[in-house]
Amino acid sequence: MNKKTLKFVGYCLAVSAPLSLNHSLAQTDSSIWDGVFTEAQATRGETAYSANCASCHSTDLRGNSNTPSLLGMSFMFIWENQSLAELYTKMRNEMPSDNPGSLSTQTYEDLLAFLLRSNQFPAGEQALKADTAKLTKISITPKPVFSQ
């Protein structure tokens, strides 16, 4: 490859990287508003939350001066347009922060369902699974205007 070709390849990479990012966002094929967890998961998650998370994030999920709130605007401020895979991984790898990764996969799935239900996302028929490839395709988006 001569210098000119290299320069061209570099240019192509630079332009196509942001484009492919947009593309993958647009390709989101499951919406968080279709119901991506079950009521049963969220209810189990509520129990797991009380046992493992409430001591820091408080029973009402609103946190305190040392621990962030997991609700509403504070939640969306951090998680809007991120994928469920990112939220799942954060919880799985870092929470509870005094004993990270200490819970079972099912418990982390249940906790994610509980966090979503607490933030007014709807339950549905399909159970949420810790399948990163699938969770990557589900973005945390505000309620679409047309369904309000």
- Closer to ligand HEC by Cβ: residue 75 or 121: 75
Within 49-78, the residues that bind ligand HEC by CB under 6 A are 52-53, 55-57, 66-68, 70, 74-75, 78
Nearest C-alpha neighbor of 111 from the set 55, 47, 68, 32: 47
The least CB distance from residue 37 to ligand HEC, in Å, is 14
Considering only 26-34, 94-102, 116-124, 125-133, which stretch makes contact with ligand HEC by CB under 6 A? 94-102
CA distances for 108 relative to 21, 31, 66, 117, angstroms = 28, 20, 22, 14
CA distance 107 to 103: 6
Q: Virtual CA dihedral for 65, 68, 71, 72, nearest 10 degrees?
A: 90
Q: Say whether residue 92 binds ligand HEC (CB under 6 A).
A: no
Give the count of beta carbons closer than 10 Å to the beta carbon of residue 41. 22
**Looking at 7, 23, 90, 143, which residue binds ligand HEC (CB under 6 A)?**
90
The footprint of ligand HEC on this chain (CB under 6 A) covers a number of residues equal to 20
Site mask for ligand HEC (CB under 6 A), range 16-45, x = bound:
------------------------------
CA distance 112 to 41: 9
Note the residues at the interface with ligand HEC (CB under 6 A).
Answer: 52-53, 55-57, 66-68, 70, 74-75, 78, 90-91, 94-98, 111
